[in-house]
Each structure stands twice: as structure tokens, then as C-alpha cells.
Amino acid sequence: DIVMTQSPASLAVSLGERATINCKSSQSVLFTSNNKNYLGWYQQKPGHPPKLLISWASTRESGVPDRFSGSGSGTDFTLTISSLQAEDVAIYYCQQYYDIPPITFGQGTRVEIK
């Protein structure tokens, strides 16, 4: 099974500042035949289901603000919030959908306002 490890477990960032969340997979999630990384990022606010923000490591979903961006390849990935807004307070999860089953998630990163 591919293990997804996120860091940090939590972070506090001032409004308008950058937030960076890391995700490392125990094996590569890059499919060389199509050069796609099978890696997604989700945002979950309290009492709500997760919401897909980023697919294929760097493709922002429709309607997601452009302050959210994803980068990385192979085993190391990053979700960046370029200018933190109050509504971005949430838990963020990475997910691999490359080597399945099982589909696996990181343990989550809690983002708060400093």
C-alpha cells in the first residue's frame, strides 16, 4: 500500500500570508505513460464533506480560487495557499489514486489563523 505522509500536522498563518503543506508518498504516483501524477488535494471544513481542490497534482478544479496551487512530482508534493483568507481555515488532505486498491489519504493538515 502507498502511505501518504503530510507535514506539518498543523500550521498557523497570518491573514494574507503564505501557507505551505507538504505531502510525501511512499512510492511514486507518477504514471510515466501519460506523465500524470495521480495525486489530489482536498479541503474539509468542520461539519462538511471534503471538497476537491486540486487534481493530477496541479490542476485546480473549477471555481477554486487561484490562491490555491499544487506542485510536485513523483513522491513529493506541495499545496500552497498564496495569501491566506479567513475562509481557508480547514483541514487539508492529500490522496493518491495511482496504486489501488487501496486509495489512500494523508493524515491531514490543520490550517488556522495566527
Partner 1 sequence: QVQLVVSGGGVVQPGRSLRLSCEASGFTFSDYGMHWVRQAPGKGLEWVAGIWDDGSNQYYPDSVKGRFTIYRDNFKKTLYLQMNSLRVDDTAVYFCARDQEGGYKRPFDFWGQGTLVTVSS
Minimum distance, C-beta of residue 18 to partner 1, in the bound complex (Å): 24
Q: Which is nearer to partner 1, 11 or 52 (CB)?
A: 52
Number of H helices, E strands in the chain: 0, 13
**Among the listed residues 3, 14, 45, 61, the single contact to partner 1 using CB under 8 A:** 61
Query: Which residue pairs from 100-107 have beta carbons closer than 8 angstroms and sit at least 24 positions apart in sequence?
Result: 102/1, 104/1, 104/2, 104/3, 104/4, 105/4, 105/42, 106/4, 106/5, 106/6, 106/23, 107/4, 107/5, 107/6, 107/9
Tell me: does residue 16 bind partner 1 (CB under 8 A): no
**Size of interface with partner 1, in residues (CB under 8 A):** 25
**Among the listed residues 70, 75, 93, 111, the single contact to partner 1 using CB under 8 A:** 93
Contact residues for partner 1, defined by CB under 8 A: 38, 40, 42, 44, 48-52, 55-56, 61, 93, 95, 97-98, 100-108
